[in-house]
Every structure is written in C-alpha cells, then in structure tokens.
C-alpha cells in the first residue's frame, strides 16, 4: 500500500470512530438540559393551577450564575389574571435540568413603570 492510501484509510477510520462519539456527547448533553419550551410549558401548568395564564415568555438559552452557585437556569415571565380579575405579572428562574421553579417575583406594573 502507498502512504497516501494508508493515510486515507486512517482518516476514514478516525471519522467512523469520532462521528458517533460526537453524536453521543451531543445526545447526552441535550438529555440533561431541558428545552426552554418544555420548561415554559411546565411552568405555565403550575401557574394555571392558581391563575388564568394570559401570556408567558422565557429566554431560549440557559445561563449559569456562578456568583450564587446556582445550576443552569432559565429566566422568564408569566402574565396572569387572579380570580378577582386583577392582572399579576411574575418573573421566574427555573432549573434547566428539572424545569422546577427556583425563584419567582411579582412585578408591580401599577407604579408607573
């Protein structure tokens, strides 16, 4: 065999080994971090138990807050109507791996902001 043919076979063998490895890594990474739309749907369901949900949003990409040693999180918001008809706006932080709400705050829009 020539050196050129041997190099080509070696390159082909490396591609056969590395491609499935990269696909496995990609799959495992996606498996552990939930899609933002999935997390938002879960949060909307949680808020629907107490309120009528009018609108909601979420950041597409998770973020890591190293300062407070938090896991990967999504940030977003939910606009609700309570049983008395009052509009309530929430912001939330949700765990990107479990989809559970870590923190939520009411935003008071009646103050003129």
62-98 tens-digit pLDDT: 988 777 777 789 999 999 998 888 899 999 999 988 8
The residue among 88, 82, 78 whose CA lies nearest residue 45 is 78
State the architecture of 34-111 in CATH terms: Roll (3.10)
Give the per-residue pLDDT at 1.
Answer: 63
Q: Rounded to whole angstroms, how far apart are CA atoms 78 and 92?
A: 8
The DSSP annotation for 65-100 comes to -TTTT--EEEEEEEEEE-TTS-EEEEEEEEETTT--
- Does the pLDDT value for residue 113 go beyond 50? no
pTM for this entry? 0.65
Give the per-residue pLDDT at 112.
Answer: 46
Phi, psi at residue 36, to the nearest 5°?
A: -60, -35
The domains of the chain are located at: 1-32, 34-111
8-66 tens-digit pLDDT: 888 888 888 888 888 887 777 666 788 899 999 999 999 999 999 999 999 999 988 77
Give the per-residue pLDDT at 52.
Answer: 93
The residue among 67, 78, 71, 83 whose CA lies nearest residue 107 is 78
């Amino acid at each position: 065999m020539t050196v050129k043919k041997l190099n080509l076979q070696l390159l082909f063998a490396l591609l056969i080994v590395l491609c499935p490895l990269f696909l496995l890594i990609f799959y495992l990474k996606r498996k552990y971090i939930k899609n933002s739309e999935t997390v938002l749907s879960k949060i909307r369901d949680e808020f629907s138990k107490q309120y009528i949900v009018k609108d909601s949003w979420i950041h597409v990409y998770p973020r890591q807050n190293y300062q407070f040693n938090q896991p990967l999180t999504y940030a977003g918001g939910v606009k609700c109507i309570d049983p008395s008809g009052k509009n309530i706006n929430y912001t939330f932080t949700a765990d990107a791996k479990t989809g559970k709400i870590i923190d939520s705050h009411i935003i008071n829009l009646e103050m003129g902001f």
